[in-house]
Structure 1
């Protein structure tokens, strides 16, 4: 759904550019909170967010057929919002769109504001609102998170098609009945949404299976532990019974302990030595995300560098609708059409498989580097982790990548 140059007139393109800049600014502040919400492990979330951006770039190269002569690809807003949070997701998809427009001539540079508004903001906001609503009403299980991810991703794609139709109605450069555009866009993107939903649910489910603590949308879904005892459990002297009739859970209250007998005051030398004699608390064990990060990067490289060669060559939903309805009559050449990577192929390499695969790997690497750099800067601007009381703790434990 990358909108090229010439589809939307200059005033509306500028207006959507202002919306995109404002949304990115708000997302920078929100992403700072989301990355810090990881607590002591929040430092590891920055490279993970960069990996999410690189993964979205890679999977967007895998166009899948949805109807006769039409293909679709992942938009990624729902996936990113569930994995790393809605504000961070807007930045992830925006980084992908920027890399695609500048390096690969995919999506117009004058239409960058339109594409960010449509593919980064709309899909993320709609998907995350639907997702949060579903997880509130569904049972508190991991399967509910996966199911909510499926539905939210499915809804987000036709929502983006609706927003494009609205933008086109305001600033389209061709005189096409808006009803025809709406029907064609929504119809084909409902089918594309099914593919989006499958990819999103499968990816979220895979991460949930190995590291549920790194899935933003799954936070707070675990039930608190309860102490349960049998009504026949004997009560030892000095302990309080913690079960009600029928074996139901009841709060466990510590039994009152007798006051210790008075002890003579230790000598001054003993008092001074007492604190040093106490054992220090063991430092909490760090959990590494290196394995998950490497696995995710390998999947992205394989998708972009190998599987993308077998992607559908049919035009995607917007390209097909634009050609059939005449929206593309005023399309202009891309400013980066002569880029060495334009069209997702490396210039001067004649072998199509090698050229496309190498371009995909370069795209994954650049997106990963830019995305990780942005999120590391955003994370570190906080000046240290914070405890629940809001006190800055510069030396707080961090997860390692």
Structure 2
């Protein structure tokens, strides 16, 4: 559900960038109190996991469409809502800058649609109430499916509203909404099952991770999460470097909806704002569309694997570094008090 620049006007893109920047600033502020130093490396590793996971588009049977995970609920359940939002922001920023996945003008909208609803709205007000009476595999699974479906549906509705506000006449609201919601319900069901499976697996390894996020408490000082980190890191490498080659070639839910409404998944837009954003992205994206730059425009298996591994690595550094920086600032202020 990564929006391209052509789907938003400069005004809407600017408004959504400001809204997302505000959410990022607030999340960073809250992390000063909420971030557990033991979870800083987990921020980096989970960022790598989500980057790799988003490379795998799974087929939605009978539709000709595909979907990929958003990852917001998974991140929030393990990290807490505010570190999760910052981690997903890191994923989306790296995708846009280095892999030309999602437009720079639309970056604020993508952060809002994929991150805000899942991490800062649905997790605290839907996921947590479902599991508050006790963490069990069944409750975790149900909460995951319900929360992911709701978060993706809210994101899909936002996409439609943003295109309407941008004056994209090729995508009339009623028709576009009629395509976006059903396909993202189906995508959400698959992601919800996957999210639940991963969370149940981690819960059985280290239930303290989910409990600390749910209760907003720090992890015990003597608790080791090295095994969990190792398993997740291997998972990110295997998915990004290998399983990404098995991704469906079908258009994702947004592209599929656009094709059914407008007859194309690639709308055109012209103007200085669009040209500037495209120019910046062209200069920074060294692996566009998750492949090597080539004159024939066709990707390769090697390019996909390299993109998955490099992208996961950069995300690990940025997400983990963000957590470390926030924690370092917090410690410095504590020492000066």
The TM-score bracket by the shorter chain reads 0.7 to 0.9
Q: More displaced, 328-337 or 198-207?
A: 328-337
- Does the 8 A contact of 1:106 with 1:343 survive in 2? yes
- Does the 8 A contact of 1:145 with 1:218 survive in 2? no
Aligned to 1:26: 26
Per the TM alignment, residue 147 of structure 1 is displaced from its structure 2 partner at its CA by 2.5
1:289 aligned to which of 210, 218, 225: 225
1:380 and 2:328 matched: yes
Aligned to 1:51: 45
- Does the 8 A contact of 1:7 with 1:328 survive in 2? no
1:329 and 2:329 matched: no
1:318 and 2:266 matched: no
CA distance in 2, matches of 1:6, 1:172: 11
2:237 aligned to which of 301, 308, 319: 301
Aligned positions of 1:232-271 closer than 5 A: none
1:368 and 2:295 matched: no
Aligned to 1:340: 286
Q: More displaced, 54-63 or 349-358?
A: 349-358
CA distance in 1, matches of 2:45, 2:221: 24
TM-score for both structures, normalised by structure 2: 0.87
1:167 and 2:105 matched: no
Higher helix share: 2
Aligned positions of 1:102-117 closer than 5 A: 102-117=97-112
Gaps of 5+ in 2: none
C-alpha spacing 1:383/1:139, structure 2 compared with 1 (3 Å): closer
Per the TM alignment, residue 118 of structure 1 is displaced from its structure 2 partner at its CA by 0.8
CA distance in 2, matches of 1:91, 1:218: 15
Per the TM alignment, residue 23 of structure 1 is displaced from its structure 2 partner at its CA by 0.5
Q: More displaced, 345-354 or 372-381?
A: 345-354
SS at match of 1:6: helix
Aligned to 2:73: 78
Per the TM alignment, residue 351 of structure 1 is displaced from its structure 2 partner at its CA by 7.8
Per the TM alignment, residue 365 of structure 1 is displaced from its structure 2 partner at its CA by 0.4
CA distance in 1, matches of 2:299, 2:252: 24
- Does the 8 A contact of 1:145 with 1:217 survive in 2? no
CA distance in 2, matches of 1:43, 1:176: 46
CA distance in 2, matches of 1:285, 1:76: 27
- Does the 8 A contact of 1:118 with 1:164 survive in 2? yes
CA distance in 2, matches of 1:189, 1:169: 19
CA distance in 2, matches of 1:328, 1:174: 14
Aligned to 1:229: none
Aligned to 1:9: 9
TM-score for both structures, normalised by structure 1: 0.74
C-alpha spacing 1:172/1:65, structure 2 compared with 1 (3 Å): farther
Per the TM alignment, residue 159 of structure 1 is displaced from its structure 2 partner at its CA by 1.4
- CA radius of gyration, larger in: 1
2:140 aligned to which of 132, 145, 148: 145
Aligned to 1:130: 126
1:188 and 2:134 matched: no
Q: Aligned pair count?
A: 319
CA distance in 1, matches of 2:75, 2:212: 10
- Does the 8 A contact of 1:101 with 1:109 survive in 2? yes
CA distance in 1, matches of 2:16, 2:68: 23
C-alpha spacing 1:142/1:34, structure 2 compared with 1 (3 Å): farther
CA distance in 2, matches of 1:172, 1:72: 26
Per the TM alignment, residue 177 of structure 1 is displaced from its structure 2 partner at its CA by 2.3
Aligned to 1:201: 196
In the TM superposition, what whole-angstrom CA distance separates every residue of 1:25-44 from its partner, at most 9, and x where no partner exists?
A: 00101222221xxxxxx322
CA distance in 1, matches of 2:235, 2:323: 21
C-alpha spacing 1:330/1:50, structure 2 compared with 1 (3 Å): same
- Does the 8 A contact of 1:20 with 1:116 survive in 2? yes
